[in-house]
Amino acid sequence: MGKTLTFLGIESSCDDTAAAVVRHDDGRAAAILSSVVAGQSAVHAAFGGVVPELAARAHVEKLDRCAEAALGEAGLRLEDLDGVAVTAGPGLIGGLLAGVMFAKGLAAGAGLPLIGVNHLAGHALTPRLTDGIGFPYLILLVSGGHCQFLVVRGAERFTRLGGTIDDAPGEAFDKVARLLGLPQPGGPAVEAEAAAGDPARFALPRPLLDRPGCDLSFSGLKTAVLRARDEAAARDGGLRRQDRADLCAAFQAAVAEVLAGKARRALAAFLAERPAEPVFAVAGGVAANGAVRSALQAAAAAAGARFLAPPLPLCTDNAAMIAWAGIERFRLGHADDLALSARPRWPLDTAAPALVGGGRKGARA
Ligand code: KG4
Ligand code: ZN
């Protein structure tokens, strides 16, 4: 049995500066002692997307205050820690560098071990932090920057069953919101509009659903919404409120159906391995969507798998997942030193073929 470990986690790979303290008594449930997230939406609001240079500067300004707040909320001092974990990739290079440099200084100054963590591993290992589940399990990471099915076999062993070949679903929600004049982030805005809409009025495609495998595509769906919007506007002399609601409902239904269809395939592949207690988990901002969540839950139930969705603050970007992934890596004997470098691209499954488009932008993870 290993000793109790208390780690500070640092996250700055996109537009959230975050710090958290997690304690783990080996053999017991982990405890999140604090989790501080400072967003940057005001910094980027005028630009319609994250501006990398502004994001990096904002991280530099906020990192020390976030870390101080996380330690303060946990009632701990630096010397009470057993290690510092930091997101070293994938993500925006400026933000990653800010976090890695900050963590290096902190760890070196306090004489603590330093662990570089893959941001996607942080998301993928979250169900172990929240629910203490064992390996292996299936997870769908679905957010503004990523969309992939992974079998999580160990803290450093992942098999990618498939992923998006172009946009991530959250990105598609955000673009559709822009097309329809709705505010950002688009997901919650589209979901709210969809509540008053008829999902059957506009026929939208179900990209790649007819093809084998677990790969997904969302950019054609967004283009189909654009076309349907223009047709409706031309017919009615402008886009009416009901048109917008119906388009949102149709788009949301298409995303949910595609994700659930591919989830059924991923579940079948995973269950063929005969896991003892099959779990299908989901993480990422899009998991907040009610229609998506219930479609995925239904897919899990039909396959006889337990469905797990971490609480929303732990589904979206946070540093508790980074502290936890750091503890997991540390228990495997992994430690970094001052040579740790930031990696804008860092696939979890290095044996899987490179994503054609999904990871290309590398901006939001
Ligand atoms: O995981 P996350 O907070 O950040 C990263 O992408 O890293 O996910 C944010 C994404 C955004 O694209 C947002 O529009 C989407 O998740 N999202 C939603 C909902 N809430 C957030 N998409 C659909 N429905 C929602 N309710
Ligand atoms: Zn993320």
Q: What is the pTM of this model?
A: 0.92
Structural domain boundaries of the chain?
4-133+316-331, 137-312
Q: Is 141 in the pocket of ligand 1 (CB under 6 A)?
A: no
| Higher-confidence position of 53 and 129 | 129
- CB under 8 Å to 156, separation ≥6 — which residues? 121, 329, 332, 334
CATH 3.40.50.300 is right for the domain spanning 137-312: no
Q: Is pLDDT of 208 > 70?
A: yes
Superfamily of structural domain 4-133+316-331: ATPase, nucleotide binding domain (3.30.420.40)
Alpha-carbon dihedral angle through residues 327, 86, 320, 68, given to the nearest 10 degrees: 120
Give me 339's structure tokens: 């040579």
219-249 pLDDT, tens digit each: 999 999 999 999 999 998 999 999 999 999 9
Place of tokens 């097309």: 179
Average confidence (pLDDT) over 286-291:
93
pLDDT value, residue 256: 98
> Is the separation of the CB atoms in 176 and 185 below 8 Å?
no
Torsion sign across C-alpha atoms 215, 220, 222, 225 = negative
Instruction: Return the H-helix or E-strand segment holding 219.
Output: helix 219-236
CA distance 314 to 317: 7
Q: Is 15 in the pocket of ligand 1 (CB under 6 A)?
A: no
Proportion of the chain above pLDDT 90, given as a percent: 82
For residue 42, pLDDT beyond 80: no
**Closest CA to ligand 1's atom 19:** 187
Check residue 354 and give its pLDDT.
Answer: 65
Q: Which residue has better confidence, 349 or 225?
A: 225
Which pLDDT value is given to residue 360?
36
- Cβ–ligand 1 distance for 162 under 6 Å, the answer no
| Same CATH fold assignment for domains 4-133+316-331 and 137-312 | yes
Instruction: Identify which of 14, 164, 286 to mutate to test ligand 1's pocket (most ligand atoms within 8 A of the CB).
Output: 286
* Residue 60 binned pLDDT confidence (cut-offs 50, 70, 90): confident
User: pLDDT confidence of 355, banded at 50, 70, 90?
Assistant: low
C-beta of 14 in contact with ligand 1 (< 6 A): yes
Predicted confidence at residue 230, as pLDDT, reads: 97
pLDDT over threshold 80, residue 284 = yes
pLDDT at 85 over 80: yes
